[in-house]
């Protein structure tokens, strides 16, 4: 990918608050139309990185190019092309969902009729006349994303849009994010849910303590781990001894309910199991980004 067609280019950006190095030499590029995730635990430097790209903060050193322009100092030419959803749900007092959209849209000179289209996009059409404080957390989050999209920006920044949502609300939001992506927008988003990043993102940057530890498509990161695949069967389908004897099996063990087989070559193991008709309760669990994080930092992931 060439830098001309990149939506975001970040080169060796650093930012310190006193002794704390919030961002400590971060470089990456985001292609146009890409769904790019920055993930890591709280305090990893995700938000600060995002704020520097958006032009809200000046980096101590390093370069940022956003859609071919410098975001700092406040670049009015760039602002209509970027949409930002903030970490806190920031709304005007006492306005309904539709009025919030119209008001935010007016800041960009956008026709207020677009508000209904946005409500539909995020599935809040029936909440159009509800005041913002009467909405649930997930609905507020979706409204806040709709507000960021009112002026039809080319690139959207979402800071932990799924934080503090229940599982159902998170999944609803994923649909919204996918819909935005289908409209050809570039999305840069932060999260501390590794599973979510794995599902949604084209590429993820794993951040910890102000640095990027790894940057690749989630599948590449996981594969690169060379971690064993775990095949789980219902207990009693096969004995531990028989399982261990299969071609490609590294280790097998059993607990009260299931038999777990570890392998780096799952294909022959699965076909051998199929030959024996021993597929009851079959589950295959490959390594996840959580394993990648553990491998990179040497500690368990804590969101």
Partner 1 sequence: MTAFKTLSLAMFKGFIRDKVTLFFTFLFPLMFLVIFGLILRDVGADKTKIAVVGDGPIVSALRDSGVLELQPYDDENAAVQKVKDGDLPAALIVRGQVLDVRFAQSDQVKSATVVGIINGFVDKANVAATGQPPRFTFAAEKVEDASLKPIQFLTPGILSWGVAVSAVFGSALTLVSWRRKQVLRRIRLAPVSATSVLSSRILVSAGVALLQGAIFIGVASLPVFGLRLSGSWWLAIPLLLLGTIAFFALGMLVGAFAKTEEAASAAANIIVLPMAFMSGTFFPMDQAPAWLQAVSKVFPLRHMNDGMLDVLVRGKGIQALAVPSAILVGFALVVGFLASRVFKWEE
Question: Binding residues for partner 1, per CB under 8 A?
Answer: 54-56, 74, 76, 79-80, 82, 84, 86-95, 99, 102-104, 106-109, 112, 131, 147
Residue 98 CB, nearest distance to partner 1 (Å)?
12
| CA dist., res. 34 & res. 32, Å (int) | 5
Shorter beta-carbon distance to partner 1: residue 54 or 198: 54
Backbone angles phi, psi at 201, to 5 degrees: -90, 145
Shorter beta-carbon distance to partner 1: residue 115 or 246: 115
Residue 220 CB, nearest distance to partner 1 (Å)?
33
DSSP one-letter code for 3:
G
For residue 39, the cross-strand partners are 191, 206
Shorter beta-carbon distance to partner 1: residue 55 or 266: 55
Q: Which helix (H) or strand (E) holds 233?
A: strand 229-234
Shorter beta-carbon distance to partner 1: residue 98 or 203: 98
Beta carbons of 192 and 163 less than 8 angstroms apart: yes
Please name the residues in contact with 207: beta carbons below 8 A apart, sequence gap of 6 or more.
26, 38, 39, 40, 44, 45, 46, 49, 213
Please name the residues in contact with 2: beta carbons below 8 A apart, sequence gap of 6 or more.
none
Provide the token pair at 76: 């009015």
Residue 24 CB, nearest distance to partner 1 (Å)?
22
Residue 122 CB, nearest distance to partner 1 (Å)?
17
Sort strands 229-234 and 283-285 into parallel, antiparallel or unpaired. Answer: antiparallel
Residue 52 CB, nearest distance to partner 1 (Å)?
13
Residue 226 CB, nearest distance to partner 1 (Å)?
43
Rg (CA), the chain: 23
Shorter beta-carbon distance to partner 1: residue 47 or 191: 47
Shorter beta-carbon distance to partner 1: residue 74 or 302: 74
| CA dist., res. 156 & res. 177, Å (int) | 10
Q: Is the dihedral of CA 103, 137, 86, 50 positive or negative?
A: negative
Residue 190 CB, nearest distance to partner 1 (Å)?
15
Residue 73 CB, nearest distance to partner 1 (Å)?
11
| CA dist., res. 131 & res. 129, Å (int) | 7
Q: Which helix (H) or strand (E) holds 291?
A: helix 289-297
Shorter beta-carbon distance to partner 1: residue 110 or 238: 110
DSSP one-letter code for 132:
G
Shorter beta-carbon distance to partner 1: residue 73 or 298: 73
């Amino acid at each position: 990918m060439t830098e001309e067609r990149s939506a975001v280019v970040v080169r060796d950006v650093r930012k310190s608050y006193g002794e704390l190095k919030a961002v400590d030499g971060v470089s990456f590029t985001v292609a146009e139309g890409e769904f790019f995730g920055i993930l890591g635990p709280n305090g990893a430097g995700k938000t600060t990185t995002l704020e520097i790209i958006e032009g809200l903060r000046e980096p101590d050193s390093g370069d940022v190019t956003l859609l071919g322009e410098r975001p700092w100092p406040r670049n009015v030419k760039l602002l209509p092309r970027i949409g930002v959803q903030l970490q806190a749900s920031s709304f005007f007092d006492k306005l309904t969902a539709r009025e919030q959209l119209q008001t935010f849209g007016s800041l960009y000179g956008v026709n207020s009729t677009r508000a209904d289209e946005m409500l539909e996009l995020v599935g809040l059409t029936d909440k159009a006349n509800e005041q913002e404080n009467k909405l649930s957390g997930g609905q507020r989050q979706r409204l806040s994303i709709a507000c960021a999209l009112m002026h039809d920006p080319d690139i959207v920044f979402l800071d932990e849009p799924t934080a503090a949502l229940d599982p159902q609300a998170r999944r609803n939001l994923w649909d919204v994010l996918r819909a935005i992506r289908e409209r050809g927008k570039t999305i840069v988003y932060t999260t501390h849910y590794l599973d979510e990043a794995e599902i949604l993102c084209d590429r993820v940057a794993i951040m910890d303590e102000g640095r990027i530890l790894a940057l690749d498509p989630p599948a590449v990161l996981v594969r690169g781990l060379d971690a064993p695949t775990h095949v789980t069967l219902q207990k009693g389908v096969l004995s531990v001894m028989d399982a261990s004897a299969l071609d490609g099996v590294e280790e097998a063990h059993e607990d009260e309910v299931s038999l777990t087989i570890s392998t780096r070559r799952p294909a022959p193991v699965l076909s051998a199991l199929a030959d024996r008709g021993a597929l009851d309760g079959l589950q295959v669990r490959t390594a996840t980004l959580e394993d990648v994080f553990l491998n990179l930092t040497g500690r368990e992931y804590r969101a």
